[in-house]
Chains A and B, each alone.
Chain A
Amino acid sequence: DAKTTQPNSMESNEEEPVHLPCNHSTISGTDYIHWYRQLPSQGPEYVIHGLTSNVNNRMASLAIAEDRKSSTLILHRATLRDAAVYYCIPPRDYKLSFGAGTTVTVRA
């Protein structure tokens, strides 16, 4: 199974960008990379996913390294509502667990 490595925590100031790294060096050529986030007291929610090229949506951007061994989730202007745990996962198959993720703290 492909495994991912994320920092335990990151801090940011409000209105500043946040770059969340994820290492997935064992990923295969056909594995998508998905990002989810979990706000306090809520279930996880989908953020973004991609395969090879960079992806943008209204929530965030996803930059995938050319060798696909790592990716970075970019929150362009962090708000207090972005404080959450962010998970990077390669859902290659349907037997899938989430690691501890990165806890993002946003300072006002």
Chain B
Amino acid sequence: EAQVTQNPRYLITVTGKKLTVTCSQNMNHEYMSWYRQDPGLGLRQIYYSMNVEVTDKGDVPEGYKVSRKEKRNFPLILESPSPNQTSLYFCASSLVRGSGANVLTFGAGSRLTVL
């Protein structure tokens, strides 16, 4: 089944304890992206990647890092989490089509709580 898999789905951690949220897709998609969703603010893009070793900032990159060493994986790293990073996180992927017809496939989400 074609899918985007995120882990963990739920995590409670403490301020300053480094964590990684993994994202993996099995559709051979070039493009991958991370979003955070907060009440009333929609989905805001954190980072995105057009292909292996190509990443760029979205609208809210502060406090996050990403890497794209393999095409299928795009982990989100919080080096020193803070309570304002408590949020629901989504990973998405798509083919890269210059016409703008690229359709995103989303993961199920990872709910992160930073105490």
Are the chains A and B members of one assembly?
Answer: yes
Residues on A facing B (Cβ under 8 Å): 30-32, 34, 36, 42-46, 49, 51, 87, 90-101
Tell me the complex Cα distance, A95–B58, Å.
6
Residues of A within 8 A of B101 (CB): 32, 49, 51
Task: Report B1-59 residues with CB < 8 Å from chain A CB.
Answer: 4, 31, 33, 35, 40-45, 48, 50, 56, 58-59
A94 in contact with B31 given A34-B103, A49-B103, A99-B42 (CB within 8 Å):
yes
Chain A, residue nearest B31 (CB): A94
Closest CB in chain B relative to A7 CB, distance in Å:
14
Query: Given A97-B43, A98-B44, list of 20 further CB < 8 A pairs?
Result: A32-B100, A34-B103, A42-B108, A44-B43, A44-B92, A46-B103, A46-B104, A49-B101, A92-B100, A94-B31, A94-B48, A94-B96, A95-B45, A95-B48, A95-B56, A95-B59, A96-B45, A97-B42, A98-B43, A100-B41
Q: Which of B48, B56, B59, B103 has the most CB of A within 10 A?
A: B103
| Total residue contacts A-B, CB cutoff 8 A | 68
Residues of B within 8 A of A36 (CB): 104
Contact partner, A97, options B45, B56, B107, Cβ 8 Å: B45
For this complex, 11 residue pairs linking A to B, each with C-beta atoms less than 8 Å apart, are A32-B100, A43-B106, A49-B103, A90-B100, A91-B102, A91-B104, A93-B100, A94-B102, A95-B45, A98-B43, A99-B42
User: Counting CB contacts under 8 A, is B74 at the interface?
Assistant: no
Residues of B within 8 A of A94 (CB): 31, 33, 48, 50, 96, 102
Say yes or no: B40 contacts A100, CB within 8 Å.
yes
Task: Report B93-112 residues with CB < 8 Å from chain A CB.
Answer: 96, 99-109
Chain B, residue nearest A32 (CB): B100
Say yes or no: B42 contacts A44, CB within 8 Å.
no
A43 in contact with B40 given A36-B104, A95-B58 (CB within 8 Å):
no
